[in-house]
Each structure stands twice: as structure tokens, then as C-alpha cells.
Amino acid sequence: MFSKAKDPKTQTSSVVRAAPSLISVNLQVAGDLSTDGEVQIDGTIDGDVSCGRLTVGEKARIKGEITADSVTVKGTVTGRIRARSVQLAKTAKVTGDIWHEKLSIESGAILEGLCKHTIKPQEGADGPQVERLERIKDAATAINAERPIGGDPKPALAGPVAKKIAAK
């Protein structure tokens, strides 16, 4: 009676922001965690973690791969970290590679692994190229396994990847 009818085309959608998920100190998880939101881990995780933003508390222990937009590590991580932004606090101990766009390491943090600056760390070290190179490598291995000793150095091949390898 006193209000206008709501037209769905003119309404703006509001973004619902959920509270961060918490894994407390006394909680142990065996399995993978996945969310688009924020996660604070203070307990023990034996599995992969995939989220939007991750904070690893000082007493936390993660054994698995981490994939996130932003990661702050204050505890112990054993496994690869792939994130746009990675921050290692002075209490952090990371054993594994870090693929990142932005990396910050405070004095006192321990890192045993390689750091790889990437443009899109969620896709891997070099994105889809890694997958393509692995397929080429597998094809080359298969060709070498089938090649007879002292035989034709370029046996008959099938497929576009094998033809590129044979052309070299």
C-alpha cells in the first residue's frame, strides 16, 4: 500500500560475508578442507586445505598442500603452499615449496623448500604449460621404451604430441 513493488532488475544483490571457520587447538582433522571463505587453523590438519584466506596459528600443524588467495603462517606446515600472497611470521616453520605472487618472510621464520614467483599460483608453477610438458615427457618416455636397440631412430608415431617429438 505505501511501498513500491520491487522490481528484480533494479534490486542490488548484497554480498553475504560469512564468519571465518575456526579449527581450535584441540581439534585434529584427517582429510581435506575446502571453502571459498576464510579459515583460521589452530589445531592439526592431515590433508589438503583450499580456501580464500588462511591463517595458520602458532600451535597449528598442517601436513598437506595449501591452496588459497592469501596465507599467513605462524605455525608448522609440511607441504606445498600455492597462494597469491604468502606471509611467514617469525614463528613459522614451512617444509615445502611456496608458489606465490607476493612473499613476506619475517626474521626467525624457517623455510625448507623452494620459492617460485608465479603469476597464477593456483594453476601450478607455470599454469597449463606444466600439464602440457608432462604429457610430452610421458609420450617421449613411451617412445623410448618401444624403440628397438639399433632400430629406426624415429619409429611410427601417433598423435600430435608424438609427431612434434618425432620432428625434433
DSSP notation for 47-75? S-EEEEEEEE-TT-EEES-EEEEEEEESS
Q: Does the predicted model carry a pTM greater than 0.85? A: no
| Mean of the per-residue pLDDT values of the chain | 79
- Residue 33 above 80 pLDDT? yes
In sequence order, what are the beta bridge partners of 68? 51, 83
Alpha carbon distance 81, 68 (integer Å): 8
- For 88-132, how does the pLDDT look when each residue is reduced to its tens digit (9 = 90+)? 999 999 999 999 999 999 999 999 999 999 876 555 444 444 555
- For 73-87, how does the pLDDT look when each residue is reduced to its tens digit (9 = 90+)? 999 999 999 999 999
